[in-house]
């Protein structure tokens, strides 16, 4: 079965500390993976996708097929990074997204 | 330009009533998706449209749920005989074409409360 697991419901760090939000997936094919973010009182929006191999707002994520992971990392957290982060898998390249349960990132001053 | 819009933003209904939720996608976007965001279940896929056709309805929880899309644009999600477990935020998203290569743009959601 296709599944996305985010083991942490809440991650709390101090400003300037490194951040790693964990995501593991199970999928039989070649996965397309994404990170979405929802800031307070804003819409859910795409943060980054693995096929682009880009860095957005200082965040990066590397697909590790051996560990079936797609962890989101940032070397120095900022207060404005506080938000809910969702890891998602595109099932069958249809755009149908399977989401993890989400991790709330809280960056303290 | 205008993003995805949804109406109403909030809906409170009595158990057993029918509700209709509306989604206006970004103009020109052929793919439209419905998701549900609820406590305990997270974000769940419900259905997606390519044009006016729904190739995947696998996420609809029961036959009380239905959706349609007309003119390749507006979509309506209908819930009949609402139950308390239907309470959630219903999100709509659209993309230029279906598939992971195309970014999905989300609407603000409709918060449904069934009393």
> Which of A45, A95, A102 shows the shortest C-beta gap to B98?
A95
- Give tens-digit pLDDT for B71-91: 989 999 999 999 999 999 999
| Cα–Cα distance measured from residue A107 to residue A56, given in angstroms and rounded to the nearest whole number | 18
- Element housing B31 (H / E): strand B31-38
**Which residues on chain B are in Cβ contact (under 8 Å) with A3?**
none
CB contact under 8 A, B100 and A86: no
A93 pLDDT band (50/70/90 cuts)? Answer: confident
Q: Is the pLDDT at B1 greater than 70, yes or no?
A: no
The secondary structure of residue A47, as a DSSP letter, is E
Paired residues of A55 in beta bridges: none
Q: Is the pLDDT at B110 greater than 80, yes or no?
A: yes
| Cα–Cα distance measured from residue B6 to residue B96, given in angstroms and rounded to the nearest whole number | 18
B107 pLDDT band (50/70/90 cuts)? Answer: very high
CB contact under 8 A, A94 and B102: no
Q: What are phi and psi of A79, to 5 degrees?
A: -60, -35
| Cα–Cα distance measured from residue B111 to residue B12, given in angstroms and rounded to the nearest whole number | 8
Answer whether B102 touches A (CB < 8 Å): yes
Q: Is the pLDDT at A85 greater than 80, yes or no?
A: yes
| Cα–Cα distance measured from residue A53 to residue A56, given in angstroms and rounded to the nearest whole number | 10
**Which residues on chain A are in Cβ contact (under 8 Å) with B102?**
95
Which residue in B95, B77, B87 sits closest to B4, CA to CA? B95
Average pLDDT over residues B85-100: 94
Average pLDDT over residues A90-109: 91
Residue B82 near residue B88, CB atoms below 8 Å? no
Average pLDDT over residues A16-42: 93
**What's the whole-number average pLDDT of chain A?**
92
CA angle A96/A100/A101 to nearest 5° reads 130
B64 pLDDT band (50/70/90 cuts)? Answer: very high
| Cα–Cα distance measured from residue A59 to residue A2, given in angstroms and rounded to the nearest whole number | 25
């Amino acid at each position: 079965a296709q599944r996305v697991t985010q083991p942490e419901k809440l991650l709390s760090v101090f400003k300037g500390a490194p951040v790693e939000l964990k995501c593991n997936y199970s999928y039989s094919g070649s996965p397309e993976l994404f990170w979405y973010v929802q800031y307070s009182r804003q819409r859910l929006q795409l943060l980054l996708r693995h096929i682009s191999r880009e860095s957005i707002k200082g965040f990066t994520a590397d697909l590790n097929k051996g560990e079936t992971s797609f962890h989101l990392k940032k070397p120095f957290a900022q207060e404005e990074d506080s938000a809910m982060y969702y890891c998602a898998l595109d099932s069958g390249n249809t755009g149908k997204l399977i989401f993890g349960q989400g991790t709330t990132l809280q960056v303290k001053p | 330009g205008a993003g995805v819009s949804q109406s109403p933003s909030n809906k409170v209904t009595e158990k057993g009533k029918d509700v209709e939720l509306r989604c206006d996608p970004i103009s020109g976007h052929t793919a439209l998706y419905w998701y549900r965001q609820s406590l305990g279940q997270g974000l769940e896929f419900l259905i997606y449209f390519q044009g006016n056709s729904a190739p995947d309805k696998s996420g609809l929880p029961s036959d009380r749920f239905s959706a349609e899309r007309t003119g390749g644009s507006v979509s309506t999600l209908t819930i009949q005989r609402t139950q308390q477990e239907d309470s959630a935020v219903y999100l709509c998203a659209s993309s230029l074409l279906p598939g992971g290569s195309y970014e999905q743009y989300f609407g603000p959601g409709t918060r449904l409360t069934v009393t």
